[in-house]
Structure 1
Amino acid sequence: MASTTAGNGGDPEGTGDDGGTGTPRYRLVADELRAMILDGRIDQGRPLPKQQQLQRRYGVGRSTVQSALQLLRDEGLIEQGVPGRAARVAHQDGQLQPLAHHIARAFTARHVSLDVWSLTVETLSKAVQNQATEIRNGEQRPESIAVRVLLPDLEAPHPYPRCVGDPADPRPLQRLRHLIRTYAGALEHSLTALAEDRLVPDVRVEVRGIPTIPGEKRYIINGTEALTGFYSIRRATMYNNPDGATLDVLELHSDGSLFPSARRAPGGSALDDARFAQVTQWFDTRWEQVATPLPLSD
């Protein structure tokens, strides 16, 4: 980002673009600060430069800097400083962030990639739709988005969900198949529409199925970070439409917790690199050798 333009000109909110790129100035400032936080140039607990210093460094006005800092607060990367003092980088240890947080951060990259193994992608679909809205509003400008999704095969006789009293009752699996199609279809549509409307030049979304259900959900984000969450089995009441019946079922359930399982970063240890390679190999072998295209329409 150019740092020679004085002030914020006629753009008090910092929403004008920089050099014709179409990206709001406050997001360019946030992007650079975020990069310094994530690669360790500003350690956890350390203060950021003061707002006046950031204004001079990036050649922007006060409101632009404040908008950039607010964005980083919303992402959980910084904490509000004591009045009169600079904000500090938040301590991330022991804090579990929801999937929406990780997806929002992923979409700040120029090239977004997601490899996903999950039960229905309900949470992912909603998080991605939020980012698609950001793109349509001009808040994000990725150049490419590549998404590969692994889901349970629609024809396999999965053990869950199933009726407690009658494991052969087909309705729980029928409902699962409906949910898989619904949320995967919504995910695919929200992204491919960005390409159709020429908002993102390169969008690739592919959904495949494998003949098993997940014991855990996995996300590989932008080729640098892997997250894992776990499913438990719970007894629940399923409201079955269209017949309106209530079914006593055993089903998979996730509380939404996601744990960092591997990370690849410049200067990382050999152990980190090996762990991340194992995670990507786990996904790639299933994608290439087992998975088949999953039809999203009946």
Structure 2
Amino acid sequence: MAVSGDSMAAEGRGTARDVVADGLRRRIAQGELRVGQQIPTQAELGEQFSAPRGAVRRALELLENEGLIKRARQGTPAEVVQRVPDHPDPDADAGDASVGRRHQPRTAGLELTDRVARAFRSPHVRIDAYCASGETLASALAGPVVAVTAGEQRPLSLRVRILLPDPDNALALPQVVGDPQDSRPRARLREVTEHIWGSLRHSLRMLEVRELVPEVRVEARKVSITPTQRVFVLNGEEVLTGHYQVLPRRVELSRDPMEIYDMLGLDGILFRHTAVPGDQVTEAYVEQTKLWFDSLWDTIARPMEP
């Protein structure tokens, strides 16, 4: 499910690096990688997180600067030298709404990766996503795909639906600073989303082809709406939401360096809303989000071309 370095930057510079760094921090915090243990090689990390080699290298540099790992000579995997504090139990708020316990908000890459991995514990995995490019979701699905391939998890069915902005129609973002009529940012968005979607679809469908998951259904549709937030519905019982920031960034359009306004969000926070049985507020929020997603999917959304 690897994507190019350029496409990984669709939601902000350094996002692939942050996905790898957040994922390794989580493994260290939860004891999956212990002090004195070698982490996977750069090639293995690139495969696990669908990240280019350069992003993996920058992630390791970041963790080394934080004092979590120590890189040895070239060709030898880095070693964990310090454990980070555990994250609060991500499920602590579920079923305990009366006490008012809440999870600590986390960056989009880390939160979605963790919650998608937990969603795969269900025999029937259902993921609905409304987002700018699908990049963060593709990265979050990399780990479960590896786990299923290794036989560590075996869901009976998997359904993924993704709603993406339609670059063939007028969108507020992305746009060239000072020239919102320039269509090149939308053409670039089309190239990025089609690449990510094609790679994601292939990786998930191969789980069915290889008879690892009996039933796999992966669909993407596009809507003529500029997303200012992203929404993920996991197994119909949990919603993750977060805002995109509109920020200027420099990109290359038709070989010309240009400054555009774009939707950036991997460094932002995802907020979790879990339907707690008996809690009318949480149950209603999740149910209304599902109805909202279905209303877009069933009306104005158009299928992505294969």
Give TM-score scaled by structure 1 length. 0.65
Q: Which moved more, 1:195-204 or 1:181-190?
A: 181-190
Matching residue of 1:289 = 299
1:122-201 correspondence runs (5 A): 122-201=135-214
- Which TM-score applies when normalising by structure 2? 0.64
Given the alignment, which residue of 248, 270, 282 partners 2:259?
248
Aligned equivalent of 1:77, options 62, 66, 89: 89
Deviations 1:25-62 (A, max 9, x none): xxxxxxxxxxxxxxxxxxxxxxxxxxxxxxxxxxxxxx
Cα gap change, 1:120 to 1:74, in 2 (>3 Å): farther
- Given that 2:176 and 2:185 are in contact with CA atoms closer than 8 Å, whether structure 1 keeps it comes out as yes
User: Residue 230 of structure 1 aligns with which residue?
Assistant: 243
Equivalent position SS for 2:269: coil
Distance 1:115 1:74 in 2: 29
Q: Report deviation, 1:76.
A: 6.0
The one-letter code sitting in structure 2 at the alignment partner of 1:180 is: T
Q: Report if the CA contact (8 A) 2:89-2:103 is conserved.
A: no
Does 2:276 correspond to 1:265?
yes
User: Identity of aligned pairs, percent?
Assistant: 35
**1:276 maps to what in 2?**
286
Taking a change above 3 Å as real, the CA distance of residues 154 and 294 of structure 1, as seen in their structure-2 partners, is farther
Deviation string 1:183-207 (CA, Å, 9 cap, x unpaired) is 1111111110100111100101111
Give, in whole Å, the separation in 2 of the partners of 1:159 and 1:275. 28
Q: 1:207 aligns with which of 220, 226, 232?
A: 220
The question of whether the paired residues in 1 share the 8 Å contact of 2:125 and 2:155 is answered with yes
SS at match of 1:258: strand
Q: Residue 163 of structure 1 contacts residue 172 of structure 1 at CA under 8 Å; is this kept in 2?
A: yes
Per the alignment, in what secondary structure is the counterpart of residue 165 of structure 1? Answer: coil
TM-superposition CA deviations, 1:142-186 (whole Å, max 9, x none): 111011111112311112111113322222111111111111111
CA contact (8 A) 2:230 2:241 kept: yes
Q: What secondary structure, in the 3-state scheme, does the structure 2 residue paired with 1:120 have? A: coil
**Are the equivalent residues in 2 in contact too, given 1:98–1:256 (CA < 8 A)?**
no
Report the Cα offset of residue 271 of structure 1: 2.2
1:209 counterpart SS class: strand
Higher relative contact order (CA 8 A, sep 6+): 2
Residue 75 of structure 1: how far off its partner (Å):
8.3
* Cα offset, 1:226, TM superposition: 0.5
Question: 1:233-272: CA deviations, max 9, x gaps?
Answer: 10110123xx432111111111241002x32233x31222
Report the AA paired with residue 228 of structure 1. Answer: T
SS at match of 2:305: coil
CA contact (8 A) 1:154 1:294 kept: no
Equivalent pairs, count: 208
Distance of aligned partners of 1:106 and 1:256 in 2 relative to their CA distance in 1, 3 Å threshold: farther
Letter in 2 for 1:272: T
Are the equivalent residues in 1 in contact too, given 2:105–2:269 (CA < 8 A)?
A: no
CA contact (8 A) 1:75 1:101 kept: no
**Superposed counterparts of 1:40-119, under 5 Å:** 77=89, 93-96=103-106, 97-119=110-132
Distance 1:74 1:246 in 2: 42
Does the aligned pair in 1 maintain the 2:246–2:264 contact within 8 Å?
yes
The runs of 5 or more residues in structure 1 that have no matched partner are: 1-72, 79-90
